[in-house]
Amino acid sequence: MIKHILLVDDEEPIRLSMKMGLEGDGLEITEALNGCDALDLIKAREGTEEEISLIITDLHMPIMGGMELIDGARKLERRIPILVITGFGDKEILVQLIRKGVDDFIDKPFRVNELREKVERILFREEELQQKQKNLTQKVEEDMEALQEGISRYRLSYEKLSKQVTSAKDAYKNLITLKDGGYKVKMAHRVKPLAFLGGDFFDIRDTETGCDVFVADVSGHDMGASYNAVLLKAFFDENCRTGKDGATFFRMLNEQLLENNQVARMVTGVFARFNLEENHAEITSAAHPPVCIVRKKYPALRLCEGKGGPLGVDPDMEFEANIVDFSEGDRLVFYTDGLPRAQKFCRETGKRVELTEAGIDEMILKHSNEPLEEMVASIWDDIFVWCRKKPNDDMLLVGIEV
What residues form DSSP beta bridges with 84? 57, 105
Residues 212 and 82 in one domain: no
The number of residues in the chain equals 402
Does residue 153 belong to any structural domain of this protein? Answer: no
Does residue 168 belong to any structural domain of this protein? Answer: no
- Angstrom distance (rounded) from CA 246 to CA 249: 5
230-247 pLDDT, tens digit each: 888 888 999 998 999 999
Could you tell me the residue range of the domain that residue 282 belongs to? 178-401
Residues 252 and 360 in one domain: yes
Can you spell out the DSSP letters for 283-319?
EEEEBPPPEEEE-SSS--EEEE------BTT-TT---
50-68 pLDDT, tens digit each: 999 999 999 999 999 999 9
Does residue 142 belong to any structural domain of this protein? Answer: no
Residues 27 and 112 in one domain: yes
Residues 29 and 105 in one domain: yes
The C-alpha R_g of the chain, in whole angstroms, comes to 43
69-88 mean pLDDT: 90
To the nearest whole number, what is the mean pLDDT of the chain?
88
CATH number of the domain encompassing residue 36: 3.40.50.2300
321-330 pLDDT, tens digit each: 999 999 999 9
Q: Give CB contacts under 8 A, 24+ apart, made by 65-74.
A: 65/34, 65/35, 66/8, 66/35, 67/96, 67/100, 68/35, 69/8, 69/35, 69/38, 69/39, 70/97, 70/100, 70/102, 71/100, 72/35, 72/39, 73/39, 73/42, 74/100, 74/101
Query: Does position 262 have pLDDT exceeding 60, yes or no?
Result: no
Q: What is the pTM of this model?
A: 0.62
> Which residues make Cβ contacts (< 8 Å) with residue 7, sequence separation at least 6?
15, 18, 19, 29, 30, 31, 32, 56, 57
Torsion of CA 282, 284, 289, 294, to 10 degrees: 0
Q: Dmax of the chain from CA atoms?
A: 126
CATH number of the domain encompassing residue 358: 3.60.40.10
Residues 323 and 264 in one domain: yes
Residues 217 and 271 in one domain: yes
Of 135, 167, 189, the position where a domain reaches its end is: 135
Does residue 159 belong to any structural domain of this protein? Answer: no
Does residue 26 belong to any structural domain of this protein? Answer: yes
Q: Please report the pLDDT score of residue 234 as a whole number.
A: 87
Residues 130 and 49 in one domain: yes
178-206 pLDDT, tens digit each: 776 789 999 999 999 887 777 889 999 99
Residue 170 per-residue DSSP state? H
254-262 mean pLDDT: 79
Query: Does position 91 have pLDDT exceeding 70, yes or no?
Result: yes
State the Cα angle at 44 between 40 and 48, rounded to 5°.
150
Does residue 163 belong to any structural domain of this protein? Answer: no
Query: Does position 396 have pLDDT exceeding 60, yes or no?
Result: yes
Does residue 155 belong to any structural domain of this protein? Answer: no
Q: Residues 44, 55: contact at Cβ < 8 Å? A: no
Of 101, 135, 169, the position where a domain reaches its end is: 135
Does residue 370 belong to any structural domain of this protein? Answer: yes
